[in-house]
């Protein structure tokens, strides 16, 4: 009886050890190289997670272990070791203690990209500057100095040149839009009411004179507009403006039944005024435009 007890006593540790075994061992990713973040995932059976303690992360001379995690799944336990190898070759993760259970050391084979036939980086060589490159550098420096001086002059002049260019581009496209609008209006001459036709025509004339001559005539009558044109001495023939305004007043106030040909004549007159006007953006115009 005593002999049987001794046999059971000495055989128990071996029985427990036999129950704790590594079922599977996988690297994620399966192929990895120096500098990659790798997970060693071990599926172990026969572990009592309640008796397992947090593992202390060992130090490696060939890499770095970031974390060690354990997770119970059914009757098995998954142990994940996240590490980053810094040196190629055959290495070992030392044994890791979880309290009652100690994980034996694990072999790790790290591959280097250079071992797969990739070319080693060439040693540093000082860059030799050719004569053409030197000429380009000199030209670039001279151009940079001129550009900086030009930029400083623009700043000193309160960006007047840039502002002048911006206003010119804006007026250019506004004139294109007005001509497109008048062209579209001419195609509707047979279907649109004459009063509506002249409302659009005169409104375009007011916008043109306000933007290109800085005349605030939005609330002026036809007579006041003609007086303002003569007083400002703008570069427009007053007779042409008079023809457009007179035709508009005859339709809107005298209820005159004007023909389509007369409407088109007034439209052509305004188109001719807009097309022939030369956009001039001088300092006086900029000051008036800003105010």
Per-residue pLDDT tens listing for the chain (291 residues): 555 444 444 544 444 444 678 888 999 888 888 888 999 998 888 777 777 788 888 989 899 999 998 888 877 888 999 999 988 889 999 988 887 788 889 999 888 776 665 555 555 555 667 778 888 888 999 999 998 888 777 666 666 777 778 888 888 898 899 999 999 988 998 888 988 999 999 999 888 888 888 888 778 888 888 888 888 777 777 888 888 888 888 888 888 888 888 899 999 999 998 888 888 776 667 666 665
Rounded Cα gap, residues 66 and 180, in angstroms: 69
Bridge partner list, 76 = 45, 73
Q: Are residues 186 and 272 in the same domain?
A: yes
User: For residue 68, with 0-12 CB atoms within 10 Å meaning exposed, 13-18 middle and 19 or more buried, which class applies?
Assistant: buried
User: For residue 258, with 0-12 CB atoms within 10 Å meaning exposed, 13-18 middle and 19 or more buried, which class applies?
Assistant: middle
Residue numbers of the domain that contains 107: 13-112
For the chain, the C-alpha Rg in angstroms (whole number) is 45
Residue at 131 is within a domain: no
Q: Are residues 65 and 178 in the same domain?
A: no
Q: Are residues 95 and 208 in the same domain?
A: no
Residue at 140 is within a domain: no
Rounded Cα gap, residues 141 and 156, in angstroms: 22
Q: Are residues 20 and 106 in the same domain?
A: yes
Whether the link from the prior residue into 29 is cis, omega within 30° of 0, is yes
């Amino acid at each position: 009886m005593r002999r049987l007890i001794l046999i059971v006593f000495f055989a128990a540790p071996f029985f427990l050890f036999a129950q704790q075994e590594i079922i599977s061992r996988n690297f994620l990713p399966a192929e990895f190289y120096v500098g990659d973040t790798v997970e060693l995932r071990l599926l172990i059976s026969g572990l009592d997670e309640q008796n397992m303690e947090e593992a202390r992360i060992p130090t490696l001379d060939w890499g770095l272990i970031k974390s060690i995690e354990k997770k119970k799944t059914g009757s098995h336990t998954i142990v994940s070791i996240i590490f980053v190898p810094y040196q190629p070759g055959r290495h070992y993760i030392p044994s890791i203690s979880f309290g009652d259970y100690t994980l034996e050391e694990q072999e790790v084979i790290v591959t280097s990209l250079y071992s797969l036939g990739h070319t080693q980086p060439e040693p540093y060589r000082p860059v030799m500057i050719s004569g053409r490159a030197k000429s380009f550098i000199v030209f670039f420096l001279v151009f940079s100095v001129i550009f900086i001086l030009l930029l400083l002059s623009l700043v000193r002049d309160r960006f007047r040149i840039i502002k002048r260019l911006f206003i010119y581009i804006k007026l250019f496209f506004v004139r294109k839009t007005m001509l497109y609008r008048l062209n579209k209006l001419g195609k509707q001459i047979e279907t649109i009411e004459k009063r509506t036709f002249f409302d659009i025509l005169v409104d375009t004339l007011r916008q043109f004179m306000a933007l290109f001559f800085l005349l605030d005539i939005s609330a002026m009558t036809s007579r006041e507009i003609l007086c303002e044109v003569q007083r400002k001495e703008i570069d427009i023939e007053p007779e042409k403006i008079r023809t457009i305004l007179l035709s508009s007043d005859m339709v809107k106030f005298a209820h005159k039944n004007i023909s389509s040909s007369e409407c088109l004549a007034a439209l052509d007159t305004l188109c001719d005024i807009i097309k022939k006007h030369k956009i001039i953006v001088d300092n006086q115009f900029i000051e008036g435009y800003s105010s």
